[in-house]
Amino acid sequence: MALVHIDGDDLVVVIEGLDKLWAFKSSLTIPLANVRGATADPGIAADPKGIRAPGAHLPGVITAGTFHLDGEKIFWDVKDPSKAVVIELADERYARLVLQVDNPRETVTLVENALR
Amino acid sequence: MGRQRAFDEDEVVRAAVGVFGSRAYDGVSVDDLVTHLGVHRNSLYKTFGSKRGLYLVALRRHLADDVRPLTETLAAAPDAASALRLVTSADLGLLLLAAVERAPADEEVAAEVAAALAAIDQAIADALSISPALAAALTAAALGIVLRGNPDGVGTALTQRFD
């Protein structure tokens, strides 16, 4: 699970609970200028995720950590795919974040509104 | 320099106009977009940033490809009946859905929709030499007629009042 909030001109992602062990991260701070958008995407968990390093990947249980796909780095923290939100970034270490959040619709609105 | 994209962005946006114009925004999943647009999920995110990003590009494309030509033809409409017929026969699916569904929730969409409708009003006002307010009333009636499935006789009954 991840908590997403806006702090001034930054998007802040806090990884909760034990997920931070598997994901090797407890939080990420990204300038809003480098955030391109957010999308609720329950289907993404069924797609190929690429090669994991470092992190945990137990298919059907948890996908957490850094994955490499098509030359991009993607950060994952998802157990329940129905609550997955994709946050697309630019000029960051990660090309995109795939996060499980409590309320995907709310998170998408929060991020998209912050970008306008 | 970015990597060569493995798809035709123009075609993808055109296909997105069709998808977003035929069902509710929330009813279109990224899976639907991947399937109907024939683009990998990663490329979709990389190119458009988000579903909303793609939606805005598709809406602007619809306005440029479908609505602008309508305003150009409208400018030459000889009478109210022709103007009404042009509006009711145009492909305005995405514009109508956007007006009803997304504009109230999204300022950027609202601005695009308002500008497009204002352009239609203006074209009708110029063509028929009527006030912008009356032209807007005609546009509003025409869109309402489209929403009601263009029932027989309604358009004629209205335009008889104009002539």
- Check CB contact of B50 with chain A, cutoff 8 Å: yes
Average pLDDT, chain A: 90
Residue A71 C-alpha, separation from nearest chain B C-alpha, in angstroms: 10
Q: For position B37, what pLDDT does the model report? A: 95
**Interval A64-70 mean pLDDT:** 88
Assign A35 to helix, strand or coil: strand
Domain ranges of chain B: 9-149
Q: For position B163, what pLDDT does the model report? A: 66
- Cα(B51)–Cα(B76) distance, integer angstroms: 37
Cross-chain residue pair A37–B31, CB shorter than 8 Å: no
B30-85: pLDDT as tens digits:
999 999 999 999 999 999 999 999 999 999 999 999 999 999 999 999 999 999 99
Q: How confident is the model at residue A56 (pLDDT cuts 50, 70, 90)?
A: confident
Lookup: tokens for A108: 């998408």
- Check CB contact of A31 with chain B, cutoff 8 Å: no
Lookup: tokens for B32: 């639907």
Residues B95, B97, B100, B105, CA torsion sign: negative
- Check CB contact of B46 with chain A, cutoff 8 Å: yes
Tally A–B CB contacts below 8 A: 50
Lookup: tokens for B113: 């929709």
pLDDT > 70: percent of chain B: 96
pLDDT over 60 at B2, yes or no: no
pLDDT over 90 at B13, yes or no: yes
pLDDT over 50 at A88, yes or no: yes
Q: Which residue has the higher pLDDT, A31 or A16?
A: A31
Assign B28 to helix, strand or coil: coil
- Cα(A59)–Cα(B158) distance, integer angstroms: 62
Cross-chain residue pair A72–B42, CB shorter than 8 Å: yes
- Residues of chain A with C-beta less than 8 angstroms from the C-beta of B53: 36-37, 88
Residue B56 C-alpha, separation from nearest chain A C-alpha, in angstroms: 12
| Sequence letter at residue B37 | L
B74-96: pLDDT as tens digits:
999 999 999 999 999 999 999 99
- Cα(A98)–Cα(A96) distance, integer angstroms: 7
A38 Cβ contact partners less than 8 Å away, ≥ 6 residues apart: A85, A86, A87, A88, A107, A108, A110, A111, A112, B50
Q: Which phi and psi (to 5°) does residue B10 adopt?
A: -60, -45
pLDDT over 60 at A4, yes or no: yes
Distance between first and last Cα of chain B: 59
- CATH top-level class for B9-149? mainly alpha
Among the partner-chain residues A44, A88, A116, the one whose CB lies closest to the CB of B50 is A88
- Cα(A14)–Cα(A37) distance, integer angstroms: 18
The pTM of the full predicted model, rounded to 2 decimals, is: 0.91
CB A55 within 8 A of CB A67: yes
- Residues of chain B with C-beta less than 8 angstroms from the C-beta of A50: none
- Residue A75 forms beta bridges with which residues? A66, A97
Average pLDDT, chain B: 93
Q: For position B5, what pLDDT does the model report? A: 61
